[in-house]
Amino acid sequence: MKKIFKFVLLALGLRYVLRLMDENVDIKIEIKKLRNELANLETDDLENKLKDFFKKYDPKFKDQEENQEDF
């Protein structure tokens, strides 16, 4: 009877540990996705700020941008 009880506890313990490891992997995947999304947002924001800056201070930039859109 003791051996069966120990076996059941061992099985439940292993099951618990495996669930924790699985959740940990899922959380790591979500963190990686969020980091990539944040990097993309920062890149887009930086590109927009650079374009606005060059439009404001470089009159030739507007002409170059229009020429690039034609292609």
17-67 confidence digits (pLDDT tens): 888 887 778 888 888 999 988 888 888 888 888 888 888 887 776 666 555
Please count the residues of the chain: 71
13-30 confidence digits (pLDDT tens): 999 988 888 777 888 888
The token duo for 15 is 């099951």
In a 13 Å sphere around the CA of 24, the CA atoms on its Cβ side amount to: 6
User: Whole-model pTM?
Assistant: 0.47
